[in-house]
């Protein structure tokens, strides 16, 4: 709630589990959105069953209306959005570019929960890229403009952690926790005019692309530390290498590994056509 105890009319844009964790923090703090906008249902699994995104499932459990526009510039969608006077839009891992006419709709603009220390790691996969290339990371709450992760910063915090690098699922949970806390701290301060937006130093910006399939192939001849970081970062993309068994090329998914005295030690794998096993057991045949 804001100082005058009036409920804010908030729209939340988000899609994966990361977004759900942010929504939980908003709910706990009395900032539940009036509407959730997420991406359309997608076919999943071997049978390609149409599956709703995690934020839609959360919205339905919490009796919050959901819209899943295919295109944000769709006239019917824009008309529907313009029928309400919104106070604030919040974006957390939505997955689509949001046009200016939507960003400018709410009274207090649109703010984004971004999992990196902007201006570093602007783009599609900041958490994976942080594990692969950075020595630290954190969260930024920023105002959105039409450029990619380019807007003024409202709040920023570095992740305090003893062990680095870490697995992607652990990093996602930590950053979602911090991001949710920062967001609910930012909302009332921003709405009441108590935060002065700070422009980013655009000359220090770095950009990252979406993870592609080629990146998930681990070349065991490369640097052990580089491979270890990739294995930690790309778990959701199933990092793998090829080996030969009985004269045939075999794909091996790496489930776990460690770095020991500068050497990469693979510990758990899923060989092609088999269940997860200890890597030493696989080597023994």
pLDDT above 70 for 1: no
- Mean pLDDT rounded to a whole number for the chain: 94
Q: How far apart are CA 250 and CA 243, in angstroms?
A: 5
Q: Does a structural domain hold residue 106?
A: yes
The reply to whether 71 and 43 lie within a common domain is: yes
163-192 per-residue burial string, b: 16 or more CB within 10 A, e: under 16: eebbebeebbebbbebbbbbbbbbbbebbe
Q: What sign results for the dihedral spanned by CA atoms 234, 113, 98, 83?
A: positive
pLDDT tens digits, residue range 77-106? 999 999 999 999 999 999 899 999 999 999
Average pLDDT over residues 24-32: 97
Mean pLDDT to the nearest integer, 166-180: 97
Task: Domain of residue 257: give its range.
Answer: 213-283
Q: Is 249 helix (H, G, I), strand (E, B) or coil?
A: strand
Q: Which of 59, 54, 25 is nearest to 186 (CA)?
A: 25
Residue 270: both structure tokens together: 């899923």
| pLDDT computed for residue 45 by the predictor | 81
Give the global pTM.
Answer: 0.93
Any domain includes 203: yes
User: Does the structure show a pLDDT above 50 at 40?
Assistant: yes
Same domain (yes/no): 151, 236: no
Instruction: List pLDDT tens digits, range 113-130.
Output: 999 999 999 998 999 999
Mean pLDDT to the nearest integer, 253-276: 95
């Amino acid at each position: 709630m804001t100082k005058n105890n009036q409920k804010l009319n908030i729209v939340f844009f988000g899609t994966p589990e990361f977004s759900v964790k942010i929504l939980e923090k908003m709910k706990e703090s009395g900032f539940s959105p009036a509407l959730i906008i997420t991406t359309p249902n997608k076919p999943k699994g071997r049978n390609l069953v149409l599956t709703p995104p995690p934020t839609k499932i959360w919205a339905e459990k919490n009796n919050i209306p959901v819209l899943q526009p295919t295109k944000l510039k769709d006239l019917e969608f824009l008309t529907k959005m313009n029928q309400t006077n919104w106070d604030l839009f919040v974006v957390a891992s939505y997955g689509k570019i949001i046009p200016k006419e939507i960003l400018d709709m709410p009274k207090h603009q649109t703010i984004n929960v971004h999992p990196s220390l902007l201006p570093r790691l602007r783009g599609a996969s900041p958490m994976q890229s942080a594990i692969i290339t950075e020595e630290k990371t954190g969260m930024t709450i920023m105002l959105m403009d039409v450029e990619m992760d380019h807007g003024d910063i409202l709040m920023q915090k570095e992740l305090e952690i003893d062990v680095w690098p870490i697995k992607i699922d652990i990093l996602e949970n930590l950053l979602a926790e911090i991001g949710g806390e920062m967001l609910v701290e930012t909302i009332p301060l921003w709405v009441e005019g108590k935060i002065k937006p700070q422009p980013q130093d655009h000359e220090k910006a770095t950009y990252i692309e979406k993870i592609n399939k080629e990146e998930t192939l681990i070349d065991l001849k490369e640097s052990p530390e580089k491979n270890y970081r990739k294995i930690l970062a790309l778990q959701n993309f199933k990092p793998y290498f090829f080996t030969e068994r009985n004269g045939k090329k075999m794909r091996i998914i790496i489930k776990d590994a460690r770095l020991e005295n500068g050497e990469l030690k693979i510990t758990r794998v899923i060989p092609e056509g088999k269940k997860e096993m200890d890597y030493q057991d696989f080597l023994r045949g």
